[in-house]
């Protein structure tokens, strides 16, 4: 079962901390989202493996846009 990790707010992708194939556990940081002049860590909601990264650094994203797919 896949889990979509989405942006909680609009912003810019400051840094991607994982690669496809990485194993992550719940609360591991996946992405740093810069919004409102703050860096917000986007964390894994559950244990899994990074199946797909749907954004690149410096991309602008909207609320609820899928950033990472975990499997």
pLDDT number for residue 1:
82
36-51: per-residue pLDDT in tens?
A: 899 999 999 999 999 9
pTM of the model: 0.95
16-39: per-residue pLDDT in tens?
A: 999 999 999 999 999 999 998 999
Q: 29, 43 in Cβ contact below 8 A?
A: yes
Question: Hey, where are the domains in the chain?
Answer: 3-70
53-70: per-residue pLDDT in tens?
A: 999 999 999 999 999 999
As its CATH architecture, domain 3-70 has: Beta Barrel (2.40)
């Amino acid at each position: 079962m896949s889990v979509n990790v989405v942006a909680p707010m609009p912003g810019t992708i400051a840094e991607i901390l994982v690669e496809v194939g990485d194993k992550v556990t719940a609360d591991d940081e996946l992405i740093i989202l810069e919004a409102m002049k703050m860096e917000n860590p986007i964390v894994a909601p559950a244990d899994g493996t990074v199946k797909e990264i749907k954004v690149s650094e410096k991309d602008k994203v909207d609320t609820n846009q899928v950033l990472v797919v975990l499997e």
